[in-house]
Amino acid sequence: MVSYKRTSVEDELVQILELQKRNLPESLSRQEKHSEGFVTVSHSLDQLRAMHQVCPHIIAKDQDRVIGYALCMHPRFAEFVAVLRPMFQEIETIVPEGKKYMVMGQICIDKAYRKKGVFRQLYQTMKTALFPDYPVIITEVDTENQRSLRAHYTVGFKDLKTYRSTNQEWQLISLE
C-alpha cells in the first residue's frame, strides 16, 4: 500500500536521488522520454538535505521504498541550482512582492507506479502540508515533456508564462 508523507530521514533523500537518476534524460531512450516523461535536474545529497531542512519534501512510499517524490524548494534556494536560476528570475517578474509561494522543484514517480494516482496524491499531500503558509505552488516544465505538462494541467495547474532558457522552452505554471 502506498503512503504519503514528508521526508524525515536521510535514507529517504538517498532513495529520491536513486529514483531521480533512473529518470534523467541520459538514462532513458528517446521513446521512453516521449512516452514516460523525464526529470531535468540532477541534485546532490547536500542540496536535498539543505532544502529538506527548510521544508521537508513530499514522498510516496510503498513500505520502506520511496516510489515518488515532489521536492519542496523554498525561494531562498533561487541560486542553489544553476539550471533553475532563470525560473526564479521569471517568477520574480510575475509574482507580486510579498506573496508567499513554494516552488515544486521536481516531481517523479517510479515507472511501476505510474497511472495509479500517485502524481495527484503527491500534489494533494503537498498542498495540505504547505497551506496556509504557502498558498501557491509554482513549478516549470520543459515544453517537450508533454506527458508532464498534461499531468500538471489535470491536477489544476494554470499557465503563468512561457520562456526560453538554456536552449529549452519552459512553461511556468502555478497551483493555488
pTM for the whole thing?
0.91
The per-residue pLDDT for range 13-51, each reduced to its tens digit, is 999 999 999 887 777 778 877 777 777 788 999 999 999
| Spans of the chain, pLDDT less than 70 | none
What pLDDT score does 160 carry? Answer: 96
Residues 60, 165: Cα–Cα separation, whole Å: 31
CATH label, 2-175, candidates 3.20.20.70, 3.40.630.30, 3.40.50.300, 3.40.50.720: 3.40.630.30
The CB-side HSE value for 117 (13 A sphere, CA atoms) comes to 7
What pLDDT score does 24 carry? Answer: 79
Helix (H, G, I), strand (E, B) or coil at 48: helix
Q: How many residues does the chain have?
A: 176
What pLDDT score does 27 carry? Answer: 74
Residues 83, 165: Cα–Cα separation, whole Å: 9
